[in-house]
Structure 1
Amino acid sequence: MKLPEINTATPYAGLSPDLVLDAVSHCGLWPDGRLLALNSYENRVWQVGLEETAPVIAKFYRPGRWSDAAIEEEHAFALELAAAELPVVAPLVFDGQTLRQHEGFRYALTPRRGGRAPSLESTTQLEWLGRLIARIHSVGSRQPFVHRGRVDRATLMQAPMQAVLASTLLPASLQANYRSAAQRLDDAVAMRLEAIGPVRQLRLHGDCHPGNVLWTDEGPHFVDLDDARMGPAVQDLWMLAGDERALNALLDGYTQMREFDDTERALIPALRAMRQMHYAGWIAARWHDPAFPAAFPFAAESRWWEQHIADLHELADGL
């Protein structure tokens, strides 16, 4: 049966609280009417209370971002990690399926797992995280992703650059300056990657920043594999390391469980540059979603783009 069309200009306009509750009910669960919208811009995420059991998290995927095969590959990776007794929140399975569809929306349910942000000043916690990331990578190295892409310039630099240039957010007076700065940075990253040479690629968490790690009295657990893709091991480490001390602590834990190619340290400036360019492109590409102007009003100001252009030049200088 063909699913109803979703308006990609306002992709979540039809995602009402009643639809969320109905979607959870279609999994054979019994919502009690309690809904809590959680902080998420790329997708829409709700905590849904259930009768007599713990709440679940319902994640509704942004239409058009990932194919069904790519989402299912993410789910399979999460389940593989959970089966290896790693503290990763994996999707729930209903009738043999993790990816569900309801009224044109694709969604998945996961258990609710609370926690607090890790203390990245704590050497003990950093080493603990390093050990767990090494174990994730041991599982991730077993086979490649087929449908989820890579950490590369095409995805994280060139596509975002085109999104910015096509957007009305970037003032016309800054178009040439932005194009020059973005191209200069892309060229600098390309030279850095060529100088380093090939490094091993494996399945990654992909977006392993402090907000995607929750700490409890029992230790940490990882959430949100939405950006899982192929890439170098250091991609899952550098965002947790605010400085060289923290990176060394993470790697002290990591190398207790798995070898680390120290050549990958030299990738960090390039990965940081990719992330910064991608951030602006992501906002520009999603500006039609009403949540984005509300959350990122600064992106409508010329001075923000002026600073972004200056930042791109500074990053290029650092490479």
Structure 2
Amino acid sequence: MTHAIRIHQTGGPEVLRWEEVDVPAPAAGEARVRHHAVGLNFIDTYHRTGLYPLPLPAGIGLEGAGVVEAVGEGVTEVKIGDRVAYAGGPVGAYAEVRNIPSHRLLKLPDTIGFNTAAAMMLQGLTAAYLLRKTYRVQPGDAVLIHAAAGGVGLIACQWAKALGATVIGTVGSEAKAVLARAHGCDHVINYSTENFSQRVREITGGEGVPVVYDGVGKDTFMGSLDSLRPLGMLVTYGNASGPVPPFDLLLLSQKGSLFVTRPTIMHYTAKRADLEALGGELFGVVPSGQVRIEVNQTYPLADAAQAHRDLEARKTTGSTILLP
């Protein structure tokens, strides 16, 4: 028997249970992967609390890296022995071994290890679609990236800098400001002590930025709109501070005919060709050194509850992995 984290009800970290599970032979179109490392992401807490409902009981986790142990009928994307990684679902990554649709798996280059892969797939593919698809960053753009010292933030700041952007990042502490500066931020704003939208206006000579990447949600939403230049785009891709409350769409016209989008990795990687293209971009910038993946915390997979507590208390920086 193998083990996995399961939830039988929604709630706090205490609902995460380490249980024995049976992993059957992979069905047609599936591969069985033995994890070497599993990624921790804020969306996992949304599934645990029920903000993003799952049919219960359920596994949890959207990201992992390991080796293919078996394949089902009709599988052509991978073979037994391949080093692979994935992100974006279906849920169930908090497991020693699991079956997963083979079309979700990407083969890992030899230059990327399992820990790095598990730390970067969801956050890295998120940064890839944000910067290369949702709003395609161009040289000379000024961009605002919230939670610049978080997992997505550290990757996105480095990547945006490599693309030739002026990177403005927000953080919640001086320690995180130091981290953000070391990862591509030209300007760092501590939103616990400064009005970030006013600072963005000062930095941009009153113009505002063409895009804001906001994974914080409720606490930063209105300030993000106030940071945009006319026709700018607010990309709200997470709810770390809670979901954005309803607002009057007329505000968008009043503030400059603004755009707001709420993207998800699932839609941007739904087609195999799009997943491979974004994966190819990510697998290019990491080995080249343009983007460094910071694995700043590791926990035993069985201690996932403590990892969730630390993540929600904003005690973590960079990426966190769980080790089976």
Does 1 or 2 have the higher relative contact order (CA < 8 Å, sep 6+)? 1
Q: TM-score, normalised by structure 1?
A: 0.28
Which one has the bigger strand percentage? 2
Which one has the bigger helix percentage? 1
For the pair shown, which has the larger CA radius of gyration, 1 or 2? 1
Q: TM-score, normalised by structure 2?
A: 0.28
